[in-house]
Amino acid sequence: MDAPCTSLYKLAEATICLRRYDIGKILYEKYLNLCSSDNPGAWHGLAICLEMAKQREEANKAYKKALQLHLRHNDPSNLLWGGWCALKLGMYELAYELFKESAMKDPNYAYTWHSLAIAAIRIGRREEAEEAMARYRSMVSRRPYDKMECEGLRMLMEAVSGINSGNSLMSEVRELIINLLSQSIDKYGAECGLHDIHES
């Protein structure tokens, strides 16, 4: 993947953390059309944006495409996110199996245990859900997550460096992203410890 496409993908990911699904939809669609139409993460991100825009039918199509692409890979990350696609599509048994396999392959990723707990409760495995949630809570108490918006703001700031006005792909979204960065710093900068950083 070339640098502009990598930056575009990171920018789109950041919009999910920043809960700016309107902008995320634009960026994911651009990425899928111009960079890679077989990236499961991009389809998954687009599905989230469509779901948040209450475009349920389109979201389900994107979740199905993402699931199909995630299932081509057997690594913990694709199993986890494929499980979330299955969960969103109401395929609870499949979600459970994917989360369980992901947890077996990488038992040190806390969010996988949280995900497994959700799927387990959906299929009536209450005891297993409680065990998975206890494991998740224990892991998070030792290593707390960064606030989602702070993670998104950091991702956005990193990716902005990849915006080169000489590149046609990025020049089309430059103003949109610079405005998003400014708004996000104003909204989250202080609580994320990033209030003194300004776009040059």
Give 5-50 pLDDT, tens digit per residue: 888 999 999 999 999 999 999 999 999 999 999 999 999 999 999 9
Residue pLDDT, tens place only, 89-133: 999 999 999 999 999 999 999 999 999 999 999 999 999 999 999
Q: Which residues contact 53 (CB under 8 A, 6 or more apart)?
A: 21, 22, 25
Query: Whose CA is closest to 44, among 102, 88, 94, 110?
Result: 88
Q: Identify the pLDDT of residue 164.
A: 61
From-to residues of CATH 1.25.40.10 in the chain: 75-145
What is 1-72+147-200's CATH topology?
1.25.40
Alpha helical stretches, state H, 39-125: 40-52, 56-70, 76-88, 92-105, 110-122
**Distance separating alpha carbons of residues 107 and 114, to the nearest angstrom:** 12
Which token pair is 95?
């979600």
CATH top class, domain 75-145: mainly alpha
Residue pLDDT, tens place only, 119-172: 999 999 999 999 999 999 999 999 888 888 999 998 898 887 766 656 666 777
**Distance separating alpha carbons of residues 196 and 64, to the nearest angstrom:** 42
